[in-house]
Amino acid sequence: MNTTESAAVASGLTWFKSTYSGAEGGDCVEVAADKEVVHIRDSKALAGPVIRVSREAWAGFVGEA
């Protein structure tokens, strides 16, 4: 399940960035989870698109990473 949503829809979420990202920015993604899906966005483009994947798909990705 890969869909894209607007940043406005995802603005009410609590976003998390990896602790490996450091304070200098760089190439980072942020994630936010709700009861049904995990939202993923580029930390440098907060107003850009947000990708949503199922919690199961995210767990599989993290398990393989």
What is the mean predicted confidence (pLDDT) over 53-65?
93
Q: Are 16 and 31 in contact (CB under 8 A)?
A: yes
Residue 58 has pLDDT above 90, yes or no: yes
Q: Are 1 and 23 in contact (CB under 8 A)?
A: no
Report the alpha-carbon distance of residue 55 to residue 40 in Å, rounded. Answer: 12
Give pLDDT tens digits for 9-57: 566 889 988 777 666 666 788 999 998 999 998 888 888 889 999 999 9
Say whether 65 sits in a helix, a strand or coil: coil
The residues with which 5 forms a beta bridge, in sequence order, are 50
pLDDT at 1: 44
The residues with which 52 forms a beta bridge, in sequence order, are 3, 39
pLDDT at 28: 84
- What's the whole-model pTM score? 0.73
